[in-house]
Chains A and B, each alone.
Chain A
């Protein structure tokens, strides 16, 4: 792969990031107070806490979008204060909740912006953009020349991830990247992100306020409250040895499963909406367009009243044969009855490795059961 860079790389890989005694005050209020935290190379560290706890401020002090008042941030023992901030940021991928794709540039131009500034030639940029779009499961030929407003929220977020990866940075900072998406889409992207994470094998600092997300994605979790770090450790560590009540509260999911046996699928499913229904004879190309328009990642294929299976955006993108009918690409889907027990449904889903099932009552779809969403509703 072609890889040139005008501004020389600061670091090829991350050994460790150390925050020592880092403090940031706004007027007399501490945003972050005397924070000591080490992030190990190659891990995904979650920063979690209520709003105003200082998690985002901490993240932004790593790439100097916010400058600390005292204390030091070092990456591989290089003090970030000694590095030009522009150069520092080009070595760090950054993804935020509202994505911020530039509306006047195509998807290709958005992803290729920093490479272009770095002086790559057109061919190199095009190659990289295509590679990255394919990596985030968007068909390069279909999306490269579109504008951001023509994309659904989920697709934009994927482009945001691709843009962050353009310079192949060894470190990623992610600020609630899935926060603005609806629950079904969020689960889907989290699942994909896990795959991406294992493939790129980079150091990631990830801010969220969603404990489920933290438990799914994090290698270690740092819990912050009122500008201070309360505890940091692997998920099990936090669950079994919580430092205080607050940590126990955040991570304790024993409580959540207490009533599981008595709950029925109908209590926890999301209402079915007709926009999830796709006709069997539809061409897969049209289905992609339609799903984009409706902002869907998953849909169900029906022939009249007969359920044929489910389609996902990712699978449709992969098969790419645009004149295929969706009935030929639909995959199997778990079907439940509204009065099935939730415990049964969840274990069924877990066994088949799927994240959602369709709830059918007398041949009519009435709901969708999303496994991770069930957990959230139980809190």
Chain B
């Protein structure tokens, strides 16, 4: 049975505060990179529709590689540490964000782009003032999926000395400390649910503000 005493004890012994900070640090870097690259890829394949299918197919293939295998594959290139974990997060997260960005941009009702065009907006201005803002709810949906991916993969990073809460789990397994596994596992779960809830809230706000359907 987990008592408060045990939890505090495990928390201190395994430096969970520090591990949480490490964890969130890796997670935020991964997420920010994913958002940047994902949206860029989405906008790119929207502007060059011929590239859309091959790019999305390629990303789908990346998506099918098991996450642990992907991290291991990246090890020789990026060395031990946070590198492979962050890279794996990004590789996984590009697909949902890019795909939602692409779908969102294409889905904007023709009447709005027609009007934008007719009142004298250039294609670039139409993209930035009309298409992207009106796609924000969908893009946010993609980011939310990526967020959940990243949370999971960052935790796996503990296996390859990336630090973070995965390390605590890993140590717990190695030393057979049930309490450490439980505390770190539950704590990681709480963090994930909390972050997802937060992202959901932002998504809802965007939907109210920019959504048309």
Chain A interface residues toward B at CB < 8 A: 63, 65, 86-92, 94, 96, 98-100, 102-104, 113-114, 117, 163-164
**23 pairs of residues in contact across A and B, judged by CB atoms under 8 Å:** A65-B117, A86-B122, A87-B120, A89-B117, A89-B120, A90-B119, A94-B115, A94-B118, A96-B115, A96-B118, A100-B111, A100-B114, A100-B115, A102-B129, A103-B112, A104-B134, A104-B210, A113-B129, A114-B120, A114-B121, A117-B121, A117-B125, A117-B129
Alpha-carbon distance between A63 and B117 when the two chains are bound, in angstroms? 10
State which residues 132-182 of B face A: CB under 8 Å: 133-134
Chain B residues, CB < 8 A from A103: 112, 134, 210, 212
Chain A residues, CB < 8 A from B116: 102
B199 at the interface (CB under 8 A from A): no
Contact A102 B118 (CB under 8 A): no
Chain B residues, CB < 8 A from A113: 119, 121, 129
Q: How far is the CB of B210 from chain A (nearest CB, A)?
A: 4
| Residue of B with least CB distance to A63 | B118
Alpha-carbon distance between A171 and B67 when the two chains are bound, in angstroms? 61
Chain A residues, CB < 8 A from B120: 86-92, 114
> Is chain B's binding surface mostly helix, strand, loop or mixed?
helix
> Is chain A's binding surface mostly helix, strand, loop or mixed?
mixed
Size bracket of the B interface: 10 to 19
Q: How far is the CB of B112 from chain A (nearest CB, A)?
A: 6
Alpha-carbon distance between A257 and B3 when the two chains are bound, in angstroms? 94
| Residue of B with least CB distance to A166 | B119
Q: How far is the CB of B89 from chain A (nearest CB, A)?
A: 30
| Residue of A with least CB distance to B134 | A104
Alpha-carbon distance between A92 and B209 when the two chains are bound, in angstroms? 30
Chain A residues, CB < 8 A from B119: 89-90, 94, 113-114, 163-164
* A114-B120, A164-B119 given; 13 more Cβ-contact pairs under 8 Å: A63-B118, A89-B117, A89-B118, A89-B120, A96-B118, A100-B111, A100-B112, A102-B116, A102-B129, A104-B133, A114-B119, A117-B125, A163-B119
State which residues 102-120 of B face A: CB under 8 Å: 111-112, 114-120
- Which one of A89, A90, A102, A163 contacts B112 once the chains associate, using CB atoms below 8 Å? A102
Alpha-carbon distance between A17 and B130 when the two chains are bound, in angstroms? 31
Chain A residues, CB < 8 A from B118: 63, 65, 89, 94, 96
Q: How far is the CB of B107 from chain A (nearest CB, A)?
A: 14
| Residue of A with least CB distance to B117 | A65
Q: How far is the CB of A334 from chain B (nearest CB, A)?
A: 39
Q: How far is the CB of A114 from chain B (nearest CB, A)?
A: 6
Alpha-carbon distance between A113 and B125 when the two chains are bound, in angstroms? 10
Alpha-carbon distance between A88 and B120 when the two chains are bound, in angstroms? 8
Alpha-carbon distance between A94 and B111 when the two chains are bound, in angstroms? 13
Chain A residues, CB < 8 A from B134: 102-104
- Which one of B115, B121, B133 contacts A86 once the chains associate, using CB atoms below 8 Å? B121
State which residues 7-64 of B face A: CB under 8 Å: none
Q: How far is the CB of B158 from chain A (nearest CB, A)?
A: 42
Q: How far is the CB of B129 from chain A (nearest CB, A)?
A: 7
Instruction: Enumerate the 5 nearest inter-chain pairs by beta-carbon distance, A residue then B residue, closest first.
Output: A100-B115, A90-B120, A89-B120, A104-B210, A94-B118
Chain A residues, CB < 8 A from B129: 102, 113, 117
Chain A residues, CB < 8 A from B209: 104
Chain A residues, CB < 8 A from B133: 104
Q: How far is the CB of A58 from chain B (nearest CB, A)?
A: 15
Alpha-carbon distance between A100 and B212 when the two chains are bound, in angstroms? 12
Task: Among B117, B118, B209, find the residue whose CB has the most chain A CB atoms closer than 10 A.
Answer: B118
Alpha-carbon distance between A164 and B119 when the two chains are bound, in angstroms? 8
Chain B residues, CB < 8 A from A87: 120
Alpha-carbon distance between A103 and B115 when the two chains are bound, in angstroms? 12
| Residue of A with least CB distance to B111 | A100
Alpha-carbon distance between A96 and B122 when the two chains are bound, in angstroms? 19
Chain B residues, CB < 8 A from A117: 121, 125, 129
Contact B111 A98 (CB under 8 A): yes
Alpha-carbon distance between A164 and B129 when the two chains are bound, in angstroms? 17
Chain B residues, CB < 8 A from A164: 119
Chain B residues, CB < 8 A from A92: 120
| Residue of B with least CB distance to A103 | B212
Chain B residues, CB < 8 A from A89: 117-120
Alpha-carbon distance between A113 and B116 when the two chains are bound, in angstroms? 10
| Residue of B with least CB distance to A104 | B210
Alpha-carbon distance between A100 and B119 when the two chains are bound, in angstroms? 11
Chain A residues, CB < 8 A from B111: 98, 100
Chain B residues, CB < 8 A from A99: 115
| Residue of A with least CB distance to B118 | A94
| Residue of B with least CB distance to A163 | B119
Alpha-carbon distance between A86 and B121 when the two chains are bound, in angstroms? 6
